[in-house]
Structure 1
Amino acid sequence: MAAQKILFIVGDFVEDYEIMVPFQMLTMVGHTCHCVSPGKTAGDTVATAIHDFEGHQTYTEKPGHNFALNATFADTQAEDYDALVLPGGRAPEYLRLDARVVELVQQFHAAKKPIAAVCHGPQILAAAGILSDRDCSCYPAVSPEVQLAGGRYVATATGFDNAHVDGNLVTAPAWPAHPAWMREFLKVLGSKIEA
């Protein structure tokens, strides 16, 4: 299968690993990846945050890197892309309030294009109204939103290193799931990796 164009939608305080690692992995295997953020243009950056699990009741947050955007949000059209990735972090909590972000997600869903979301990324899926009768993994604190949106929360039975596939939707609970999440997303994309 030919390389595909994949859209990432992010915002300030996207989780550092959840944008950097998937972006690099998908680019490494030959896909063209564009990263956009509302109100920003190609060449702008978003601040990232590093979330870690250090034994507290919830994750901790530390400053991450500045991640350079390589496309302009205002120019983004869903029909120009083959798949969508929604990283987590704090960004999804306000990105889901952006009508154009929600509209783009709905267009990917309506076209049955592959969608990957991790950690808090499913907050955007819930806001877009596309989780009805769907299975969805996410960070456990997001599970009430998944369920209120009509989805079935897939619990993290083995920690945070698993992923779940429901048709074109590939979801995972947090960045420790990257190997499983990206492996399953590549399968849904139909990507072949030659050794």
Structure 2
Amino acid sequence: MARVLILTADAAEELDSMYPVFRLREGGHEAIVTAPTTRPVKLVVHDFEPGWDSYTEKPGHLLPVDLAFGEVDPEDYDALVIPGGRAPEYIRTDPDVARIVGHFFAGGLPVGTICHGPQVPAALGLLRGRTTAAYPPLKFDIELAGATFVDEPDVVDGAMVSCRGWPDLPLWSRAFMRVLEKASDRA
């Protein structure tokens, strides 16, 4: 089965992070969590409440981390998932994140992005000419990165699978698992 790297950090959205980890493991794949350090990351819960123009944020669970970004050899993995939340906003400037993410895009390997996750490949110039979903207020950021924004729950562009946020996870997960299994069949 596939070895899938989950790229995250503090303030990643809880469902965006934990749902893929559990779904991949349920499917018999190995989900390896990487973050800036090996201490558990502090996840947050984003919710949509009446009377708010944006989402609210509350503290969430801790997510154990297997490797620090600097310890990752991307050659050891078959796919990558970048959860949303606020983590992508600041990890996108990390040189090890650029090294890791660049490897998956250069190799045409499966990459899943959830909610704010596309901020990472966008900042690295990796979305140019691609089609992707993201949290809808990121539409202009996605377009400025040279991509086409699609407001859908499970956008597949080659080996990249994206969605708008945690409410889309069942459809996103189904699409990502299909892309992952197809890539595993070729390997």
* The two structures share one fold, judged by TM-score above 0.5: yes
- Tell me whether 1:170 sits opposite 2:161 in the alignment: yes
Checking the alignment, whether the CA contact within 8 Å between 1:12 and 1:46 is kept in structure 2 is yes
Gap regions ≥5 residues in structure 1: 157-161
Match of 1:180 among 166, 171, 182: 171
CA distance, structure 2, for counterparts of residue 74 and residue 34 of structure 1: 14
1:100-111 maps to which residues of 2 (within 5 A)? 100-111=96-107
> Partner residue of 1:15?
13
Structure 1 stretches of 4+ moved >6 Å: none
Deviation at 1:102, TM superposition (A): 1.6
Checking the alignment, whether the CA contact within 8 Å between 1:103 and 1:128 is kept in structure 2 is no
Checking the alignment, whether the CA contact within 8 Å between 1:6 and 1:33 is kept in structure 2 is yes
CA distance, structure 2, for counterparts of residue 153 and residue 57 of structure 1: 21
1:12 aligned counterpart, secondary structure: coil
1:134-153 maps to which residues of 2 (within 5 A)? 134-153=130-149
Q: Which amino acid aligns with 2:54?
A: T
Q: Which amino acid aligns with 1:169?
A: M
Checking the alignment, whether the CA contact within 8 Å between 1:13 and 1:49 is kept in structure 2 is yes
Checking the alignment, whether the CA contact within 8 Å between 2:69 and 2:97 is kept in structure 1 is no
> Partner residue of 1:54?
49
1:190 aligned counterpart, secondary structure: helix
1:57 aligned counterpart, secondary structure: coil
Q: Which amino acid aligns with 1:177?
A: D
Q: Which amino acid aligns with 1:188?
A: V
> Partner residue of 2:126?
130
**Structure with more helix by fraction:** 2
1:1-40 maps to which residues of 2 (within 5 A)? 3-38=1-36, 40=37
Deviations along 1:33-61, one digit per CA (max 9) or x if unpaired, are: 100111x12xx200010001113211110
Aligned residues: 182
Deviation at 1:147, TM superposition (A): 0.6
TM-score, normalized by length of structure 1? 0.90
Q: Which amino acid aligns with 1:53?
A: F
Gap regions ≥5 residues in structure 2: none
TM-score, normalized by length of structure 2? 0.94
1:14 aligned counterpart, secondary structure: coil
Checking the alignment, whether the CA contact within 8 Å between 1:116 and 1:171 is kept in structure 2 is yes
Checking the alignment, whether the CA contact within 8 Å between 2:14 and 2:43 is kept in structure 1 is yes
CA distance, structure 2, for counterparts of residue 148 and residue 77 of structure 1: 30
> Partner residue of 1:159?
none
Deviation at 1:100, TM superposition (A): 1.4
> Partner residue of 1:45?
40
Q: Percent identity?
A: 40
Checking the alignment, whether the CA contact within 8 Å between 1:4 and 1:32 is kept in structure 2 is yes
Checking the alignment, whether the CA contact within 8 Å between 1:102 and 1:127 is kept in structure 2 is no
